[in-house]
C-alpha cells in the first residue's frame, strides 16, 4: 500500500512538471487576453472593450464550471459511504483534465502560425466540456476504481476526445455546440466499455454499500439541480453570438422543463404503490439537456424542444427501470450511476435529432463518437485491468475508507457496537 | 393507491401533450432569438450583437433560475423527513409551471400581430417569476398535500397570476419589477387561503415529523443563502437597461444586508436564554428582498433601502414568534413555512412603499393582488378539498414515505429497533 | 445570560440606527446607478447602456457574493456540532461588514466633491472583498468566540482594512486586484494574532467536538467548490475592462487547477496508509487562488500561473501537516480552520510574486498588510479579552448549543441514551 501511494505521488509530480514544461513551450494568451488587445482593438476598429469575447462568454463559462465541479461532483455523492470519493475524485480528475485538455484541444484547434496555442475564455469552456466526457465515464465506474485509474482514464479520455472532436467538428463539419455526440455519446460509451472490461463478478460483496441514505440523496439533488439549471448555459456557451446563444438557451430551457414532468410521470407508474424513485428524479430529469446538445442552436421551434425533452426522458427513465438491471445481468456491464440512461441514449437521440434537421454529416459524426467510445474504452479498459493500479477489492467497493481518512462519527460508533444493524440494506438500480 | 397513480400518470401525460400542441400552435422565437435577428439588427441599425437583450438579462435570468429551483427548493428541505418532497415537488411544479406560464403570460403580454407568442430571455424570467408565486403558496401547504394537488394549485395559480399581473401592470400601469405585490403578496394570500380551506384539525398526529434535524437545517441554509445572494438579480432582472438595473441591485443589496442584522437581533431576544432560532435566520433575513420588490428601481436612496430592510425584518421575525402560533390556533391557518411572515407582510410593506413613493395606482395594484390571492385561494382550495386527489392522512403528513421510495438507512434501522426513541420531539414554529 | 443578550440586542440596534443615519448623511447613487445616467451618457457621448459599468462587473460581483456567503459560510460547516455557527455567524458578520465597509471604503476612496460617497457596483464588490478579510480572521477563531465578539472583530477589521487598503493602493500605488496582500495576508495575520491573544490553554476540554462527521465534511465541500469555481471572478472582478479581466480569469483558473493536483499528491503521501485527508482537500486546493490575487492581471504567462498554483499548494498542504500542530503547541496559536496555511502563507507568496514581477512598492505593500494584521490583531484581541462579551467556556467551544436552539434529533436522542458512545472521537488537524 505505501508503495502504491509513493508511486501515486511520483505519478502526480511527473504529470505536474510535464504540464508546466508543456505550457511553457506551447501556451500563450490570445489577442483578447493579452495586453496586445488594445492594439488589436484599434487595428480592427472595435468600438468598445465589451466586444472582447470575455463579455459574451464569461457568464456562461462560470455556469458550465459550476456544472462540472458541483453538478457532476454532487450528483455522485448519492452513495451512502462514497460521498468523499464522489465529489473528491470528480474534483481531482476535472482539475487535471482541464489542463491536459487545454493542450490537446490547443494542438488540434488553436495552434497559431508561431506554433503556440493561444488561449482565451473559449478555451476554458472547451476544456471544461472535454472533461465532462471523462466525468461521465467516471459515473459508470464510480466506487470501483482507484484515483490512479481515474487519472489514467482521464489522460486517455481527454486525448481521445480531442481527436474525435477534431474529426467531427473540423473534418466532418458537423455541428454540436452542446456536445450530444462529442461529449455525452462518446463519454458514455467510453465509460461503459471500460466498466465492461473491468467487470467484477463478485461485486455483490459490497452490495450493502451500493445504496443511498436519506441525506446523501439530498446532497445528490444539489448536483442534479445545478446541472439542470445551468444546462442552458452549457448548450449555448460556445454558440454563435447574438441569436445563436439566445435560441440555444430557450430550446434547452424548454427541453429540460418537459423532461421533469415526464420523469415524474414515468417514475410514479414504475414503482410498487406508485412511489417516486429518487434515482429517476436525480438523473432522467436531465435527459432533455443532453438530447438538445446538438440541435440547441437550430431553428427547431419551441414545441420541437418540448418533444425532444419528452421523448428523451421517457427513454431515460425506462432505461433506469429495465435496461440497467438487464445490462448488469446479461451484458455484464456494471453502471453505477446509470450513465447509459442519462448520457448514452439521450446523447444518441440528440445526434439523431441533429441528423434529421441538419443532414448526413451529423449522422457520420454520431458514428465517430460511438466508435471512439467503444474502441477507446476497450483499449483503456485493458490498460486499467493491469494489476498495478491499486483498485479496491470487491468487498471494499463503494467505501471511502479505502482512500480517505473518514471521521469516526456517531453513526459509525453506534453501528460498530450494533453490528447486526449494518447489513442487508436495499440497493437501488443506479 | 395504484388507481390514484395511474390517474396521476394520465393527468401528467395529458398535460404534456396539451402543452406540446399549444406550443406548436402559439409559441415562436422572437426577433432576438430567431435567425431573423441579423436582418433585424441591420434594419434597426444596431451596431453590435451585444445589444441583443440576451446580454443584458441572461446573467440575471440564471440567478433567478437558481433562486426558483435551489433557493425555494432547499429552503423547503428543513423538515426532518420531508426533504425529498420539499426539493422534489418544488422541482416538479416549477418545471410544469414555467411551461404554462410561458403560454398564459404570452397570451396576455406577448401576443404578436400574427397571433403568435414571441419568446426571448425576458419571457423566461417572467415565467420563473410567475412560478415563484405558486412556490410561495406551496410553502404554506408543505407536507400536507399530494403532488397532484400541487399540480392543480400550480395550474390555477399561474392562470390567476397572469390575469392579476395583466391588470396591475398593463391596466393600472403600476410598477412592480421585483413583484412585491404581483408575486409575493398574491402568492402568499393564495397559499394561506388554500391552507385555511384545507385546515386539518388533527394535524398534531404527525407532530413528531414537523420539526427539523440538525443537518436538514443546514440544507435549508443552502436555500436561504442562494435566495439572499441572488435577490438583487431577482429585483433587477426585468428592470430598465442601464441605471435601472444598476440601482435595483444596490437597493436590494442594502435592504437585505439590513435584514440580516435585524433578524439576528430580534431572534436573540425572543428566545429563552437568548438563543438564536434557525427558523428566523432561514426566513426573516430575506424579508428585505421581498419588501424591496416594488420600489427596487425607484430613487429611494441607499438609506431608504436600509430602512425598508430594517422594518420588514422586524415585522417578519415577530410574525414567526407571535403570529404563526396565533394564526394556527385562532384563525385555523396552518402555515408550514411561515409564508405569512416572509412573503405576505413584507410583500404588503413593499406595496405600501411603492404607493408612498409612486402614487395611488400602486395602492390599487396592491389591492388587486390581495383580492386575487384570497378569492383565487378560496376557489382552488375548494377544488383541492374534493376527496379525489390522494392527499396524505393526518398521521402521514410531513412524511416522504407516502410519495417516495425512501432508502432504509442507518438511523431508521436503529430507530425501528429502538421504537421508544421515535416520539415526542420538539416542533419549531415553522 | 439574559442580560448578555439584551446588551447584544441594544448593541445591534444602535449599530443599525447609526448605520441608517450615516448612510442618510453620506451615501448616494453614483452617476451610473442614478437617473442622471441618461444625461451622463449623452454628455460623455456613450453609445449604449451596455457601457454602464454594471454590465462589465455584475456577473463577477454575483460570483464574489456567492464566495462570501456560501463559499466561506459552508467551508466553516465542517465541525460536527458547529455548522449553524459556521454558516450562521458568517452570514451575520458579512451582512454587517458590507454596510460598514461601504462607509469606510467610501470615505477613503469614493468621496465626491460634494462630500457624499457615490456608490455603484464596484463599491458592492469592494465591500464584499473587505468583509472577506474579516471572514478569514473568523476562521482562526471559529467555535471559540461569541457573536458579539465577532461583531467587534468585524467593526475594527473593516476599519483597519480600509486604512491599509488606502495606504497600499492609493499611497504606495501597489497593485492587488485579487487581494493577496490586502485581503488574505492582512485578514490572516489579523485573525491569528487575535487567536493568539485569546489563547485557551484548556481548549482540550471540548476536544470531542473539534472534529467533523461524515456529512459535515460533505457540506464543507460545497464551500470549497464554490470558492474554487468562482475564484477567477474574485481575482478579475475589479481588474481593468477588456484584456485585464480576461487575463486575470485565465491566470487564476490555471493556478487553481494546479493546486488541486498538488494537494491530492501531497495529502496522499502525508498520511498513514496513503489515505487522503479531507482537511487538505477542502483548503489547500484553494491556495493557488489566494497566491494569484496580486499578479492576476499581470502578464505572468499561463505556465507561470501553473507554477504559482503548484508552489502555493505544496506549502499550504505541508502547513496543515506540520505547522498547525507546531503553532498550537509552541506558539500558542489555536487556528481552527488553518487560515495560516490557506491565507497567510499563500497570501505572502502572492505578495512576493507581485514584488518580483512589478517592483518594490509591492514589497512595501506586503509589509504594510502584515503590520496592520499583527498590530491590529493585538489591539482588537486585547479588547476581546475583556470578560464582558459572553464567550463560551472551554468545555462549550465548538458547540452550537450555546448560541442556537438546536433541534433534538434522532442521533442526539440516541446518544443521550447511549452516553458511552459520545466520547473520544478523533480530532483532525484543522
Q: What is the DSSP string of A87-105?
A: HHHHHHHHHHHHHHHHHHH
Residue B115 per-residue DSSP state: S
Average pLDDT over residues A89-101: 97
Highest averaged pLDDT of the listed ranges A7-11, A166-170, B274-278: A166-170
From C401's Cα to the closest Cα of chain B, the distance in A is 8
Q: State how far the Cα of C425 lies from the Cα of C214, in Å rounded to an integer.
A: 13
Q: State how far the Cα of B231 lies from the Cα of A204, in Å rounded to an integer.
A: 48
Which chain A residues are Cβ-neighbours of B36 within 8 angstroms? 243
Residue of C209, C221, C227, C398 to mutate, testing the A interface (most A Cβ within 10 Å of its Cβ): C221
From A153's Cα to the closest Cα of chain C, the distance in A is 15
C-alpha cell at C116: 457624499
Report CB contact under 8 Å: C84, B56.
Answer: no
- Which subunits sit against A, judged by 3+ Cβ pairs under 8 A? B, C
From C343's Cα to the closest Cα of chain B, the distance in A is 24
**Would you tell me which CATH number, out of the four given (2.60.40.10, 1.10.10.60, 1.10.3430.10, 2.40.100.20), belongs to the domain A66-393?**
1.10.3430.10
User: Does residue A271 surpass a pLDDT of 80?
Assistant: no
From A330's Cα to the closest Cα of chain C, the distance in A is 36
Sign of the dihedral through C-alpha A124, A129, A131, A135:
positive
- Check residue A79 and give its pLDDT: 96
- Check residue B418 and give its pLDDT: 36
User: What Cα–Cα distance (Å) separates residue A411 from each residue in B364, B415, C215?
Assistant: 57, 12, 11
Strand C27-29 with B117-119, pairing: unpaired
CB–CB contacts below 8 A, A to C? 221
> Tens digits of per-residue pLDDT, B148-181?
999 999 999 999 999 999 999 999 999 999 999 9
- Given pLDDT bands bounded at 50, 70 and 90, which one contains residue C325? very high
User: What Cα–Cα distance (Å) separates residue C358 from each residue in B270, C241, C364?
Assistant: 55, 20, 12
Which chain B residues are Cβ-neighbours of C83 within 8 angstroms? 214-215, 218
Q: State how far the Cα of C52 lies from the Cα of C120, in Å rounded to an integer.
A: 10
- Given pLDDT bands bounded at 50, 70 and 90, which one contains residue B190? very high
Residue of C287, C303, C414 to mutate, testing the A interface (most A Cβ within 10 Å of its Cβ): C303
Q: What are phi and psi of B240, to 5 degrees?
A: -65, 145
- Check residue A82 and give its pLDDT: 96
Report CB contact under 8 Å: A405, C63.
Answer: no
Cα-Cα-Cα-Cα dihedral of A235, A237, A241, A246, to 10°? 50
C-alpha cell at B342: 416572509
User: Does residue C3 surpass a pLDDT of 70?
Assistant: no
Average pLDDT over residues B123-132: 97
From A92's Cα to the closest Cα of chain C, the distance in A is 6
Q: What residue of A is the nearest CA neighbor of C222?
A: A70
Which chain A residues are Cβ-neighbours of B403 within 8 angstroms? 275-276
- Check residue A268 and give its pLDDT: 86
CB–CB contacts below 8 A, B to C? 222
Report CB contact under 8 Å: C405, B253.
Answer: no
Q: State how far the Cα of C6 lies from the Cα of B269, in Å rounded to an integer.
A: 7
- Are A191 and A371 in contact by the 8 Å Cβ rule? The answer is no
Cell 479505502, located at residue: A402
- Check residue B13 and give its pLDDT: 81
Report CB contact under 8 Å: B260, C91.
Answer: yes
Q: State how far the Cα of A34 lies from the Cα of C243, in Å rounded to an integer.
A: 6
Kindly state the helix (H) or strand (E) to which residue C164 belongs, with its residue range: helix C147-165
Instruction: Kindly indicate whether the domain formed by C62-386 is annotated with CATH number 3.30.200.20.
Output: no
User: Does residue B9 surpass a pLDDT of 80?
Assistant: no
Which chain B residues are Cβ-neighbours of A232 within 8 angstroms? 62
From B107's Cα to the closest Cα of chain C, the distance in A is 30
Helices (H), A166-301: 186-197, 214-236, 243-270, 278-283, 287-291
- Are C369 and C186 in contact by the 8 Å Cβ rule? The answer is yes
Which chain C residues are Cβ-neighbours of B50 within 8 angstroms? 48, 50
User: Does residue C307 surpass a pLDDT of 90?
Assistant: yes
Per-chain mean pLDDT for chain B = 91
Report CB contact under 8 Å: B212, C52.
Answer: no
Report CB contact under 8 Å: A77, C257.
Answer: no
> Tens digits of per-residue pLDDT, A157-193?
999 999 999 999 999 999 999 999 999 999 999 999 9
Q: State how far the Cα of A48 lies from the Cα of A32, in Å rounded to an integer.
A: 12
User: Does residue A229 surpass a pLDDT of 60?
Assistant: yes
Which chain A residues are Cβ-neighbours of B413 within 8 angstroms? 421, 425
Tell me how long chain B is: 430
Q: What residue of A is the nearest CA neighbor of C217?
A: A84
Strand A117-119 with C27-29, pairing: unpaired
Residue of A52, A57, A62 to mutate, testing the C interface (most C Cβ within 10 Å of its Cβ): A62
How remote is the C-alpha of B344 from its chain's centroid?
11
- Are C248 and A120 in contact by the 8 Å Cβ rule? The answer is no
- Are A138 and A69 in contact by the 8 Å Cβ rule? The answer is no
Q: State how far the Cα of A376 lies from the Cα of B320, in Å rounded to an integer.
A: 59
Q: State how far the Cα of A94 lies from the Cα of A139, in Å rounded to an integer.
A: 13
Q: How many CB atoms lie within 10 A of CB B109?
A: 16
Average pLDDT over residues C318-331: 93
Report CB contact under 8 Å: C243, A4.
Answer: no
Report CB contact under 8 Å: C246, A12.
Answer: no
Q: State how far the Cα of C126 lies from the Cα of C108, in Å rounded to an integer.
A: 12
- Check residue C4 and give its pLDDT: 62
> Tens digits of per-residue pLDDT, C180-218?
999 999 999 999 999 999 999 999 999 999 999 999 999
Closest Cα to residue C128, out of C253, C37, C230, C11? Answer: C230
**Superfamily of chain region B56-417:** Ammonium transporter AmtB like domains (1.10.3430.10)
- Given pLDDT bands bounded at 50, 70 and 90, which one contains residue B417? very low
Residue B408 per-residue DSSP state: P
Closest Cα to residue C380, out of C213, C102, C145? Answer: C145
Closest in B249, B306, B414 to C414, CB measured: B414
User: What Cα–Cα distance (Å) separates residue A398 from each residue in A85, A145, A203, C218?
Assistant: 9, 9, 10, 16
Report CB contact under 8 Å: C95, B299.
Answer: no
> Tens digits of per-residue pLDDT, B10-25?
777 888 899 999 999 9
> Tens digits of per-residue pLDDT, B307-325?
999 999 999 999 999 999 9
Burial status of residue C91 (CB atoms within 10 A of its CB: 0-12, 13-18, 19 or more) = buried
HSE, side-chain direction, 13 A CA sphere, residue C149 = 27
Average pLDDT over residues C165-179: 96
From B93's Cα to the closest Cα of chain A, the distance in A is 8
- Check residue C390 and give its pLDDT: 84
E-assigned strand segments in B181-307: none
- Check residue A201 and give its pLDDT: 94
Average pLDDT over residues B103-121: 95
Q: State how far the Cα of A10 lies from the Cα of C62, in Å rounded to an integer.
A: 39
Q: What residue of B is the nearest CA neighbor of C73?
A: B225
Closest in A55, A213, A310 to B407, CB measured: A213
User: Does residue A1 surpass a pLDDT of 50?
Assistant: no
Residue of B56, B276, B284 to mutate, testing the C interface (most C Cβ within 10 Å of its Cβ): B276
- Are B195 and B307 in contact by the 8 Å Cβ rule? The answer is no
- Given pLDDT bands bounded at 50, 70 and 90, which one contains residue A424? very low
> Tens digits of per-residue pLDDT, B87-97?
999 999 999 99
- Check residue A5 and give its pLDDT: 63
Angle between helices C302-318 and C345-358 (to 10 degrees): 150
Average pLDDT over residues C43-61: 92
Burial status of residue C1 (CB atoms within 10 A of its CB: 0-12, 13-18, 19 or more) = exposed
Burial status of residue B375 (CB atoms within 10 A of its CB: 0-12, 13-18, 19 or more) = middle
Closest Cα to residue A145, out of A97, A75, A80, A197? Answer: A197
Bridge partners, B117 (sequence order):
B27, B111
Which chain A residues are Cβ-neighbours of B41 within 8 angstroms? 242
Residue of C81, C83, C217 to mutate, testing the A interface (most A Cβ within 10 Å of its Cβ): C217
Average pLDDT over residues A387-409: 90
C-alpha cell at C349: 507568496
Closest in A4, A34, A95 to C274, CB measured: A4
Residue of C9, C60, C95 to mutate, testing the B interface (most B Cβ within 10 Å of its Cβ): C95
Burial pattern A300-313, b for ≥16 Cβ within 10 A else e, equals bbbbbbbbbbbbbb
- Are C326 and C273 in contact by the 8 Å Cβ rule? The answer is no
- Given pLDDT bands bounded at 50, 70 and 90, which one contains residue B410? low
Q: State how far the Cα of B265 lies from the Cα of B276, in Å rounded to an integer.
A: 9
Phi-psi region of B350 (alpha: psi -120 to 50; beta: other; left: phi over 0): alpha
> Tens digits of per-residue pLDDT, A343-376?
999 999 999 999 998 888 999 999 999 999 999 9
- Given pLDDT bands bounded at 50, 70 and 90, which one contains residue A16? confident
Report CB contact under 8 Å: B69, A211.
Answer: no
Q: Where are the domains of chain C?
A: 62-386
From B242's Cα to the closest Cα of chain C, the distance in A is 5
From A427's Cα to the closest Cα of chain C, the distance in A is 20
From B96's Cα to the closest Cα of chain C, the distance in A is 28
Q: What residue of B is the nearest CA neighbor of C15?
A: B261
Average pLDDT over residues C270-297: 92
Closest Cα to residue A111, out of A227, A25, A34, A176? Answer: A25
Burial status of residue B65 (CB atoms within 10 A of its CB: 0-12, 13-18, 19 or more) = buried
- Check residue B223 and give its pLDDT: 97
- Are B187 and B373 in contact by the 8 Å Cβ rule? The answer is yes
Q: What are phi and psi of B198, to 5 degrees?
A: -90, 20
Q: State how far the Cα of C402 lies from the Cα of B275, in Å rounded to an integer.
A: 7
Cell 504567462, located at residue: C301
- Check residue B390 and give its pLDDT: 84
Amino acid at each position: 500500500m505505501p508503495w502504491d501511494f509513493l508511486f501515486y505521488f511520483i505519478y502526480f509530480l511527473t504529470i505536474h512538471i510535464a504540464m508546466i514544461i508543456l505550457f511553457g513551450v506551447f501556451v500563450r494568451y490570445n489577442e483578447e487576453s493579452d495586453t496586445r488587445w488594445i492594439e488589436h482593438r484599434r487595428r480592427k476598429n472595435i468600438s468598445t472593450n465589451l466586444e472582447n469575447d470575455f463579455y459574451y462568454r464569461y457568464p456562461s463559462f462560470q455556469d458550465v464550471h459550476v456544472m462540472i465541479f458541483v453538478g457532476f461532483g454532487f450528483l455522485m455523492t448519492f452513495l451512502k459511504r462514497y460521498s468523499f470519493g464522489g465529489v473528491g475524485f470528480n474534483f481531482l480528475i476535472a482539475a487535471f483534465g482541464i489542463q491536459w485538455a487545454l493542450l490537446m484541444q490547443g494542438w488540434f484547434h488553436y495552434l497559431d502560425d508561431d506554433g503556440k496555442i493561444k488561449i482565451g475564455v473559449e478555451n476554458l469552456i472547451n476544456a471544461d466540456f472535454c472533461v465532462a466526457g471523462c466525468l461521465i465515464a467516471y459515473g459508470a465506474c464510480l466506487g470501483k476504481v482507484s484515483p490512479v485509474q481515474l487519472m489514467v482514464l482521464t489522460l486517455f479520455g481527454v486525448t481521445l476526445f480531442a481527436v474525435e472532436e477534431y474529426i467531427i467538428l473540423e473534418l466532418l463539419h458537423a455541428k454540436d455546440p452542446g456536445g450530444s455526440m462529442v461529449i455525452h455519446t462518446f463519454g458514455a460509451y467510453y465509460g461503459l466499455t471500460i466498466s465492461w472490461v473491468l467487470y467484477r463478478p463478485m461485486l455483490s460483496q459490497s452490495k450493502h454499500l451500493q445504496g443511498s441514505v436519506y441525506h446523501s440523496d439530498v446532497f445528490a439533488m444539489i448536483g442534479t439541480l445545478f446541472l439542470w439549471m445551468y444546462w442552458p448555459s452549457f448548450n449555448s456557451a460556445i454558440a454563435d453570438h447574438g441569436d445563436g446563444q439566445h435560441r440555444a438557451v430557450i430550446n434547452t430551457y424548454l427541453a429540460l422543463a418537459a423532461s421533469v414532468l415526464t420523469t415524474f410521470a414515468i417514475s410514479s407508474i414504475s414503482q410498487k404503490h406508485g412511489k417516486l424513485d429518487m434515482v429517476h428524479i436525480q438523473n432522467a430529469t436531465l435527459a432533455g439537456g443532453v438530447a438538445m446538445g446538438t440541435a440547441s442552436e437550430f431553428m427547431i421551434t419551441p414545441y420541437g424542444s418540448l418533444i425532444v425533452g419528452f421523448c428523451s426522458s421517457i427513454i431515460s427513465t425506462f432505461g433506469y427501470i429495465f435496461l440497467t438491471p438487464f445490462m448488469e445481468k446479461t451484458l455484464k456491464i456494471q453502471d453505477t450511476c446509470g450513465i447509459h440512461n442519462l448520457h448514452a441514449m439521450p446523447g444518441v437521440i440528440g445526434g439523431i435529432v441533429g441528423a434529421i434537421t441538419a443532414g448526413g454529416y451529423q449522422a457520420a459524426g454520431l458514428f465517430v463518437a460511438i466508435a471512439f467510445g467503444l474502441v477507446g474504452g476497450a483499449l483503456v479498459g485493458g490498460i486499467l485491468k493491469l494489476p498495478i493500479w491499486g483498485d479496491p477489492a470487491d468487498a471494499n467497493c463503494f467505501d471511502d475508507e479505502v482512500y480517505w481518512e473518514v471521521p469516526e462519527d456517531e453513526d459509525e460508533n453506534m453501528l460498530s457496537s450494533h453490528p447486526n444493524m449494518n447489513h442487508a440494506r436495499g440497493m437501488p438500480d443506479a
